[in-house]
Amino acid sequence: MIYYTADLHLGYAPMLAHRPFESVQAMDETLIRNWNETVGPDDTVYIVGDFSYNGGVVPAQYFRRLQGRKHLIRGNHDTGLENAQALFEYCESVVDYWELDDGEEHIILCHYPMIYEKRGYMIHGHLHAHRGRAYTMLQQLPKVLNCGVDVNFLRPVTLAQLVENNALFYGPDSLRHFPEYTGKSVCRDGLLPRRPDFRPLPQRGSAAGHPGDFIL
């Protein structure tokens, strides 16, 4: 089975302003439990960016607890890791953009949404459950799907579930299914929002045709 997810932001205190949790630990444990209840050891998960938060080292303490064969499509919170090569201990590929076929559908994966109206779907993260100008625009683009956990009930989802959840999020009853949280932003040293730290993709030798072979 193939699953998609994004914007977990594990360990990232500022997310408490937008999620129904009293602590980072409660948020992290819920996300990890939901993941492992959904994903089996032989399933494939495409993480479409922002697994944790930018800077520091690879968050091994989270990766090692999550089941499945993981592929990371980097977001703005995945590009500043000091030991990015260690991502390959937990992810089968690390890229900035990828395409695949999921059953009969062609899929484009990038953390940042793109205008797309052709065959299959463009799957992104980055926007969380915000309802600004991008929300209004994406209501007109049903082929562009937000796989962030905030739009998908805090768990990885299949393509069919992703289509269904996005229809709810961009539909007339959106606030009933996805309420807006107005909690205060909670930050601690080292986790304050800041300018993204960008580093090139890590490289490793691998079999031809594997996503990890490409520098994009």
The domains of the chain, with CATH numbers, are 2-190 (3.60.21.10)
Alpha-carbon distance of 149 to 140, in angstroms, equals 21
* pLDDT tens digits, one per residue of 126-150: 999 999 899 999 999 999 999 999 9
Sorted by sequence, the CB contacts under 8 Å of residue 67 that are 6+ apart come out as: 35, 36, 39, 40, 41, 43
Q: Which amino acid is at 203?
A: Q
Q: What is the mean pLDDT of residues 65-86?
A: 94
| Cα angle for residues 39, 40, 43 (degrees, 5° grid) | 80
User: What is the longest distance spanned by two Cα atoms in the chain?
Assistant: 48
Alpha-carbon distance of 4 to 155, in angstroms, equals 9
Check residue 190 and give its pLDDT.
42
Q: Which residue from 3, 1, 13 is spatially nearest to 186, judged by alpha carbons?
A: 13
Q: Give every strand in the sheet of 2-5, ordered side by side.
A: 2-5, 44-47, 69-73, 91-95
Q: Which amino acid is at 150?
A: D
Quickly tell me which residue has 């069919």 as its tokens: 160
Check residue 78 and give its pLDDT.
93
**Does 210 or 45 have the greater pLDDT score?**
45
Check residue 205 and give its pLDDT.
56
* pLDDT tens digits, one per residue of 148-181: 999 999 999 999 999 999 999 999 999 999 988 6
Alpha-carbon distance of 68 to 62, in angstroms, equals 13
The band of 183, judged by pLDDT with boundaries at 50, 70 and 90, is low
Check residue 195 and give its pLDDT.
57
Q: Which amino acid is at 140?
A: Q
The band of 213, judged by pLDDT with boundaries at 50, 70 and 90, is very low
Q: Are 122 and 147 in contact (CB under 8 A)?
A: no
Dihedrals φ, ψ of 159, to 5°? -60, -45
Q: Which residue from 211, 206, 190, 200 is spatially nearest to 56, judged by alpha carbons?
A: 190
Instruction: Specify the pTM.
Output: 0.88
Residue 155, SS3? coil
The band of 103, judged by pLDDT with boundaries at 50, 70 and 90, is very high
Check residue 200 and give its pLDDT.
81
The band of 207, judged by pLDDT with boundaries at 50, 70 and 90, is very low
Exposed, middle or buried by CB within 10 Å (0-12, 13-18, 19+), for 143? middle
N- to C-terminal Cα separation, the chain: 27
List the beta bridge partners of residue 76.
none
The band of 216, judged by pLDDT with boundaries at 50, 70 and 90, is very low
